[in-house]
Chains A and B, each alone.
Chain A
Amino acid sequence: MSIEHHVNVMNRRSFKLSALIYRAPDVDGQWIAHCAELDVISVGESPEHAASMICEAAALCIIDDLRDGLEPEDRGPNDEVDAAIRLVRKRGTRLSSMAEAVQHQELVTIAIEWLACVIDLAPELNSPCDDFELERAFAAPAQQALVPV
């Protein structure tokens, strides 16, 4: 193994994250996305957009924390959101893609899991937004989930 390769492997950090996505109770057409592990929230105009926004917000939090010498995992978790995500996973239907959620978004709560990767300790931290990968998504009727309003 070359030194460069060794350094790259040593510097790489991945964060397995999950988020609950649901319709905002007080703003028409807005979807809330809440990442349990980092307790960070973002919003979007559709479930797909909210998923994209929370992935970006989470990535920016991770980059900020690593630059400031903080540990991103110290931000959370939000136990209430984590419990709701587990409930959606248990009772919900697995989605093949976020586009599938859009097809029946009227009364749906969505749980997503993704992997955010970041190169730690590098002079310029790479943005994990670029290589975020949705691992799994589940959808359940909204009334079945304990949406933390």
Chain B
Amino acid sequence: MPLRLRDLAAHLKAHGIEVHDPKRGSHFRCTKDGFPAYQLPAHNAMKSELSDVYVRGVCRHFKIPMP
């Protein structure tokens, strides 16, 4: 199911993942100890709607359950 970026960010934060604003470019940066950083596309800011394909990708990367 697609998710708003703000809802995905809340899900990530609930699992101990920090979401940092873009320093340059169009991606938020997600970090958690023990994992490489992951990029969240942010060109429509927190209103962005993200495909389930993307949501599954980031959850797989951080080994967390789907929202």
Q: Which residues of A contact B (CB under 8 A)?
A: 24-27, 30, 32, 34, 39-45, 53, 56-57, 60-61, 64-65, 68, 70, 74-75, 127, 129, 148-149
Contact = CB atoms under 8 A, between A and B. Distances in A.
Nearest to B37: A64
Contacts of A61: 36-39
Interface in B22-52: 24-27, 29, 36-39, 41, 43, 48-52
B14 interface: no
Interface of B: 1-2, 24-27, 29, 36-39, 41, 43, 48-54, 57-58, 61
A27 B1 CA distance: 9
* Interface SS majority for chain B: mixed
A3 B23 CA distance: 33
A70 B24 CA distance: 21
Contact of A25 (B36, B39, B53): B53
Contacts of A129: 25
Given A40-B39, A57-B41, A61-B36, A27 B25 contact: no
Given A26-B1, A26-B2, A64-B29, A57 B51 contact: no
Given A43-B41, A53-B26, A149-B53, 12 more contacts: A27-B51, A34-B57, A44-B41, A45-B43, A57-B27, A60-B25, A60-B27, A60-B29, A64-B36, A68-B37, A70-B36, A148-B53
